[in-house]
Amino acid sequence: MIALGRIVAPYGVGGWLHLHPFGDDPAAWSKIPQWWLGSQAEGSKWTAYQLAALKPHSDRWVVKFVGVDDRNGSEALVGLYFAAPREDLPITATNEYYWTDLVGLDVVNEQGLALGTVDSLIETGANAVLVVCAGGQKRLLPFVAQVVKNVDVAAGQILVEWGADW
């Protein structure tokens, strides 16, 4: 399962929910046949929900599932992650990646120095940020073209323009 977002709060009294997406194209997720909700804890079970509606609301997204028709039903889903099997995900365009594909990749600068491994990503609103860990040290690298020069998922490596002492 690939986590794509998290349910953050009920929206109204009709079973709608606020969704915090982990990607920049939630509209494409309306084509996913089933949404799977669950926790990311080891061994947790994912439950399938059929999407009734997904729409932008102000600067956020709201979602409605079939059978979740009131606030009590929506409150029970708050805090759960939304995930989908990889085969149900839309195909990414060139130079677009699912975050899960980046986590675990080695980060190397243009001088050939290993900076660490991608531990996670942070969404800042302006761009995503790679959290790169090595020897107890964390570096935050903006995931933008000026910094990230090449991503080779198959080789397990991200090439960056970033000094080892930054």
With contact defined as beta carbons under 8 Å apart, do 49 and 68 qualify?
yes
Query: What integer pLDDT is reported at residue 63 of this predicted model?
Result: 96
Q: What is the mean pLDDT of the chain?
A: 92
Q: Quick one: what percent of the chain has pLDDT higher than 90? A: 65
pLDDT tens digit sequence for 62-76: 999 999 999 999 999
Determine the average pLDDT of the residues in 154-165: 95
For residue 103, is pLDDT > 80?
yes
pLDDT band at residue 166, thresholds of 50, 70 and 90? Answer: confident
Determine the average pLDDT of the residues in 111-126: 92
- Compute the distance between CA of residue 30 and CA of residue 34 in angstroms, rounded to an integer: 9
pLDDT tens digit sequence for 13-55: 999 999 998 877 889 888 887 899 998 776 778 999 999 999 9
Q: Which domains does the chain have, with CATH numbers?
A: 2-88 (2.40.30.60), 99-160 (2.30.30.240)
Whole-prediction pTM: 0.70
The CA-based dihedral angle spanning residues 89, 90, 96, 97, taken in that order and rounded to the nearest 10 degrees: 10
pLDDT band at residue 112, thresholds of 50, 70 and 90? Answer: very high
Rg of the chain (C-alpha set) = 18
